[in-house]
Structure 1
Amino acid sequence: MIKEIPMTVKRSVELIGLFVLGTIIMAGNTIIMPLLMAFFFSLMLLPLFRFFKKLKIPEALAVILPILLLTIVLALIIWLFSNQVGALVKDFPQIQRTVTKHLDNLSKWVSHSFGYSPAEQLNFINTQSKKMFSSLGGVLSGAAGSLSGIVIFIGLLPIYIYLILLYRNLFLKFVLMWFKKDEYESVNEAVRQTEKMVKSYLIGLLIQITYIIVLLGGALWVFGIQNALLIGIIFAFLNLIPYLGALIGNILGVLLTLASSNSIADVLIVLAAITFVQLLDNNILMPRIVGSQIKINPLVSIVGIIIAGTLAGISGMFLAMPVLSILKIIFDHTEHYKQWGVLLGDDLPQKSRLKF
């Protein structure tokens, strides 16, 4: 008679499995992240693929057309961003004068508040500059490696999307073969929920990017803020990273405003506009668009985003929320891992079950 495995051994195996999985992701993120990104884009493009199939279009062409439309949308976004950056570069002389003035004011404040003379401040800056330039070679080589990784990522993405859509039934059969026939219904339900969640989430993000750019960029333009559209674009994309992205977007918005304006009032306008758009997005627009598809509690979200960023960089931070949501769906549909689904979720019990 086979003895039942103790619960402590099961938990230990689960934790070791998480550690091994993290090691694999860190070591092979250049292969795994394009695949994962392609998987999510494939689920988002699946309704378009089915629509073209209903029109009796050949399957290969029905797969290519959604990918082509996605490429056009991404190309338009990149063109809009590069156009705004180009306009920023044209204003570089004015930006240089404005930044110099802000630095002079900062130097006077430091000298008055802390007693460091301008000469001491300049000596400190020179020392730090030498340290920075001494490590510039390593930074440039790392940037070159990142650039090559981005090129490989972008090149592989459409190929992966094409193959995933083309062989979707093969992958589904592979998944079903791991389960008994009486478990097929639960597996199908988990697959259906995953597909619905990913489509709703990614399409919602595209809509979110659009209205944040329009609302924030338009509001700043009305108030005469320079680089209004660029600030809106940067904040819209950084806002895709929950919690942390909005903070970074606020900082970059303030820095861009300081670089192009001498007025503190402009900085306050930018902060007020970002706060208003963010409150509108978090409390009214995004809940109505995405609904209740993502049910991950804030603590797990922040920790998951940080861990994903450490393991796989920026792409990991963007994919952290949908990955956590898929894991919650899987855990909720299994008997042995339901406690992990409870941990990831945001359903707070009314009272503690502990009785003293």
Structure 2
Amino acid sequence: MYPMPLTVKRSIELLGLFLLATLILVGKAVIMPLLIAFFMTIILLPVYRFLLKRKLPESVAILLSIGLMIVTGVGVVWFFSAQISKLLSDFPHIKQTILLHSKQVSNWLSERTQYSTQQQGQFFHQQSAKLLNSAGAMLSGALVSISSVFVLLGLLPIYVFLLLFYKNLLLRFVFLWFPVAHHDQVEEALRETETIIKSYLIGLLIQIAFIVVILGGALEILGVPHALLLGIILAFLNLIPYVGIFAGTLICVLIILASSPDLLPIVELIGVVVVVHFLDQNILRPRVVGSKVKINAFSSIVGVVIGGHLAGIAGMFLSLPVIAILKLIFERTTMFAQWGVLLGDERPTQSPMQRPELRVNESINPLNTNEPQ
């Protein structure tokens, strides 16, 4: 068999990327719940195997594992709802604080611009009318989103049950894709994929707990209003690489502005966020997350942006583990080895323009290729 021309291979790669993106964009309503269920299944595998070793029937072990997942999820939702309830119970004070800040801003603008208080009020009412005109569309969109969440919550336990119940069938399906000569490499890749995903997701849970306890506790000691709620918001948004910490800080600043007439809590918040984020990025994350998923910052940011565009918030959260799996697969193929190099964090200290040996990747462990080695 003649080797495939390089231009044809590159064309197939680009076409495959385009078709994959199109598939995700069109079928994200089906793909994203399955992907979330897949990651949840990986997390539950140790519990499932532990119960099987205790001689429990397979179905019972699966149901108990899913029950643990549901109880944990309900606990997290209850804790977050309790913090939201405290914020809502403070609504009269929040309303007064917002009016106070609005008056201060209005006076500042009147002193430094040509717009009077009456003109500012007229502009505000005009913008409010425009906002109310689009409220119907926003409300319908919110209802669709809420219904999608309920559908996901209903499907997720079913998907997890079926993935655990038919895991041997799915594994056999994967092995049948490859020649027998490469089954050892396939087994190694599958085991490493499970280890990476499990370690990465457990590391994220540790990271969330660290930020909630340390950041929320520090803000509580400093007397910042709604400290635990701010810690929860920052902990979960911090899961979105590089972008989440800024979005979370902005939301927390707005909550403090609505809850306190003073600016000191904002300064305290920013100071605590800087310290906790430094500890998280330089001490915790490299040990519990970064050591498992070695992806460079450029690929991470681009992956988050693409994931958000293709699948919304869920795509942003799942972008890094998906990239980690792709990198693992790419590194074990000949045809896609260069993509594994692009996603990795092994940055050459010298330029391939001066070092010809850097132009060749000699660490390829092929899975499925008919090219001459």
Report the TM-score when normalising by structure 2. 0.92
| Residue 199 of structure 1: aligned partner | 198
The within-5 A match list for 1:45-56 is 45-56=44-55
The SS at the match of 1:175 is helix
Q: Deviations 1:85-127 (Å, cap 9, x if unpaired)? A: 1111111010011111111111222233333222222222222
Question: Which residue is 1:183 aligned to?
Answer: 182
What residue in structure 2 maps to residue 18 of structure 1?
17
Q: Which residue of 1 aligns with 2:367?
A: none
CA distance in 1, matches of 2:107, 2:302: 40
Mapped to 2, the partners of 1:64 and 1:191 lie a distance apart of 24
Q: Distance in 2 between matches of 1:347 and 1:115?
A: 57
**Total equivalences in the alignment:** 355
Deviation at 1:3, TM superposition (A): 4.6
1:274 deviation in Å? Answer: 1.2
- 1:251-262 equivalence runs, <5 A: 251-262=250-261
Give the drift of 1:224.
Answer: 0.9
Q: What is the RMSD of the two structures over their aligned residues, measured on CA atoms?
A: 1.4
Is the 1:30–1:153 Cα contact (8 Å) retained in structure 2?
no
After superposition, residues 293-332 of structure 1 pair within 5 angstroms as 293-332=292-331
Tell me, in whole angstroms, the C-alpha distance in 1 between the residues paired with 2:207 and 2:168: 31
SS of structure 2 residue aligned to 1:28:
helix
Match for residue 163 of structure 1?
A: 162
User: What percent of counterpart residues are identical?
Assistant: 49
Q: TM-score, normalised to structure 1's length?
A: 0.97
1:47-82 per-residue CA deviation (whole Å, 9 max, x = no partner) reads: 111111110010011111111111111111100111
Question: 1: CA distance between counterparts of 2:6 and 2:114?
Answer: 63
- Runs of 4+ residues deviating >6 angstroms: none
**Which amino acid letter does the alignment assign opposite residue 75 of structure 2?**
L
Alpha-carbon distance between aligned partners in 2 of 1:128 and 1:15, rounded to the nearest angstrom:
45
User: CA offset at residue 303 of structure 1?
Assistant: 1.2
For residues 9 and 120 of structure 1, the distance between their equivalents in structure 2, rounded to whole angstroms, comes to 65
Gaps of 5+ in 2: 356-373
Q: CA deviation at 1:4?
A: 3.6
Extract unaligned runs of 5+ from structure 1: none
**In the alignment, what sits opposite 1:64?**
63
C-alpha separation between the residues in 2 aligned to 1:11 and 1:112?
63
| Equivalent AA in structure 2 for residue 106 of structure 1 | V
- Counterpart in the other structure of 1:228: 227
The structural deviation recorded for 1:291 is 5.0
CA distance in 2, matches of 1:62, 1:71: 14
Amino acid at match of 2:332: H
- Opposite residue 30 of structure 1, the aligned amino acid is A
- Work out whether 1:287 is the aligned partner of 2:279: no
What is the SS of the residue equivalent to 2:293?
A: coil
Q: For residues 240 and 179 of structure 2, what CA distance do their matches in structure 1 show?
A: 38
